[in-house]
Structure 1
Amino acid sequence: MTSLSVRLAALVAIASVAACADHSVVRQGRVTRPAAPPSAMPNSESFRMCAAKLDAAKVRYQPLPNQDRGGGCATIDTIKLMDIGTPTANLGPMTCPLAAHFAAWARYAVRPAARLYLGSEVVRIETFGTYACRDVRGTGGTIAGKRSEHAQANAVDVAAFVLADGRRISLVDDWRGDGPSAQFLRVLHQSACKRFRTVLGPDYNAAHRDHFHLDMANAGSSGRSFCR
């Protein structure tokens, strides 16, 4: 191999090493970079205090990484509820205060009210979910530019309750009645208004005809909750 060939081979090797130092991968003309590392886990003082309350109440949960999801949506200081004593469907990320109030509401309001008004145990709570990167839903649809508390994982929508005897009590079917099922739901609405900052039900607007919207939105300087 000539001296020129040796130098060319060395330059090619150096270029190859430099390319490997950048972890980008070229596929079909596109550069694919590795996923960003996970965000830091919740570690604020308020989160630690909230988590201590969940621990004391023997609520099982899993802390979730903080994540800015873009577009005004984020999941900060959130957890995944694993066991609150009553199986609950569709729970995603929830801010810790929301999760703590929801667990307490299920334990101290939902279960006792079912025994008192319906003579049975609640074996399942059905929800429409928690986190959703979207705007507020008003009477005429979403309100553009006004993010829902769901966009911060600070809200949960409760749709129905399944009983040990097989009955299913739902907002869409039983709210308008006048029997024990309706009484049960109205008591839950009243109790929720004492625990959550905002409670919206079927009497608020058509968008909430089939669920309770429960959130922990900042009530502002007045400190008042919004219950409809």
Structure 2
Amino acid sequence: MQRRLLLILAALVATTALSACGGRDERDIPRVTNDSFSSSESRKCLADLKAQSVRFQVLPNQMRGGGCRTIDTIKVLDLGTETANLGPMTCPLAANFAAWARHAVRPAAKQYLGSDVVRIETFGTYSCRNVNGGRSGKLSEHAYANAVDVSAFILRDGRRISLLNNWNGQPQERAFLRRLHQSACKRFGTVLGPEYNAQHANHFHFDMAKSMKDGSAFCR
């Protein structure tokens, strides 16, 4: 009887070990922490978003391993202009992005292109990666859901204005995209575009981190 119990225990241990080998690394499994938006400052940000008529869903705080995390983040459901690929975003990023879409993108499209923007295309928000996608070095603001990459704009008349194809396109297209870049520099902590380096040839990178010593935006 005792021998039989020992054999059963050994089999269970072996099964557990095999399943662990085939499973995800523990660091890749999001771990829920304390409740989101517990500070007065973070709750004020949510109130400001509601005042902008932005619809959103509050997400739970998660530690995602490797230093990556989504703390006090939301899922934007509607900011007034359809926007693709928005994942978790910090509230300040979402608030500034919504204001940029409303007060910069919409009027600039009418002024320079004579049409409305019906869709903003992005490459997403949260991604657990390092700056410039390297395997080592400083974590990107994307690793904290504090950044968004904007790639193109779809107009009501069917045109698609992209960073890759139109940054150096027709004069009105160039003027439109440069106006958006200029306006973003007043709202975000870091703004990177096609003239920064080849990795940004196809998108604007916006994040809320201020890297300049005087607190001004890093705008390139």
Give the C-alpha shift of residue 52 in structure 1: 0.7
Deviation at 1:38, TM superposition (A): 4.0
Deviation at 1:72, TM superposition (A): 1.2
Please name the residue that 2:150 is paired with. 158
| 1:136 correspondence with 2:131 | yes
Higher helix share: 2
Report the alpha carbon displacement of residue 37 of structure 1 after superposing the two structures with TM. Answer: 7.5
How far apart, in 2, do the equivalents of 1:88 and 1:151 lie?
20
Q: Distance between the aligned counterparts of 1:41 and 1:164, measured in 2?
A: 41
Query: Do the aligned partners of 1:41 and 1:64 also contact (CA within 8 Å) in 2?
Result: no
State the one-letter code of the partner of 1:83. D
Amino acid at match of 2:121: E
Does structure 2 conserve the Cα–Cα contact (< 8 Å) formed by 1:131 and 1:152?
yes
| Residue 27 of structure 1: how far off its partner (Å) | 9.0
Does structure 1 conserve the Cα–Cα contact (< 8 Å) formed by 2:56 and 2:77? yes
TM-score by length of 2: 0.85
1:185 paired to 2:177: yes
Q: Secondary structure at the match of 1:105?
A: helix
Describe the shift of the 1:191–1:46 C-alpha distance in structure 2 as closer, same or farther (beyond 3 A): same
How much identity, in percent, do the aligned residues show?
62
**Deviation at 1:108?**
0.6
Q: 1:95 aligns with which of 90, 93, 101?
A: 90
Give ranges in structure 1 of 5+ residues lacking alignment: 1-11, 13-25
CA displacement at 1:149 relative to structure 2? 0.5
2:190–2:210 Cα contact (<8 Å) kept: no
SS at match of 2:136: strand
1:198 and 1:176 map into 2 onto residues whose CA distance is: 22
Distance 1:175 1:40 in 2: 43
For the 8 Å contact 1:41–1:63, the answer to whether it is kept is no
Unmatched segments (≥5 aa) in structure 2 = 6-11, 21-28
Structure with the higher fraction of residues in strand conformation = 1
Match of 2:202 in 1: 210
Q: TM-score, normalised by structure 1?
A: 0.82
- CA-CA distance at 1:224 after TM superposition: 1.5
